[in-house]
Amino acid sequence: MKTIVVLNGPNLNLLGKRQPQIYGHETLEDVTRLCEAACAENFDIRLLQSNHEGQIIDWIHEARETTCGMVINPAAFTHTSVAILDALNTYEPPVIEVHISQVHKREAFRHHSYVSHRADGVIAGLGIEGYAAGVRRICQLVERSTEAAT
């Protein structure tokens, strides 16, 4: 099994309850189910969420050795964290950045992303369906690179 890590930043533990007019009514458990349904055979999903920047950085470091790709919604850390960008720059497999909301239609401070300096793809505004699209893309990239190596 190849593991795809789905990392979530601050306040996403409240998904479904928090500003549902922006983030929807679905929960992080729904995101897990969606990601599991989206991933190809021989892949599994490890979904993690933390409100703490250092914890997310530690998980990125751990993921270097244990995962084949990453879908990350860094939430507010997207717009503030050089430290998460630096951690992602130590991670070699593909990275897809996801935002549930269409951040470019929102406040100007949400328009810049440090994580986009590293991400191989960026998805915004598809609701939680964006995570599934991210997982499908990781599977495709990993399968292509496996084929190219054989």
79 catalytic residue (yes or no): no
Q: In what order do the strands lie in the sheet with 121-124?
A: 43-49, 2-8, 69-73, 95-99, 121-124
* Residue of 91, 99, 114, 131 marked active site: 99
- 139 is a site residue for ligand DHK (CB under 6 A): no
Is residue 114 a contact partner of residue 79, using CB atoms and an 8 Å limit? yes
Phi/psi at 95 (5° precision): -130, 125
Judged by CB under 6 A, does residue 75 bind ligand DHK? Answer: yes
Nearer Cβ to ligand DHK, position 9 or 93?
A: 9
The packing angle between helices 129-149 and 28-38, to 10°, is 30
Residue 74, exposed/middle/buried by CB under 10 A (0-12, 13-18, 19+)? buried
Binding positions for ligand DHK, 96-115, rule CB under 6 A: 99-101, 103, 110
> Measured from the CB atom, is 23 or 59 closer to ligand DHK?
23
Q: Which residue has the tokens 């533990």?
A: 13
- What would the x/- binding string for ligand DHK be over residues 1 to 40, using CB under 6 A? ----------x-----------------------------
Nearest to 101 by CA among 121, 76, 84: 76
The question of whether 131 is a catalytic residue gets the answer: no
**Which residues in the 55-74 window bind ligand DHK by CB under 6 A?**
73
| Active-site annotation, residues | 23, 99
Residues that bind ligand DHK (CB under 6 A): 11, 73, 75-76, 78, 99-101, 103, 110
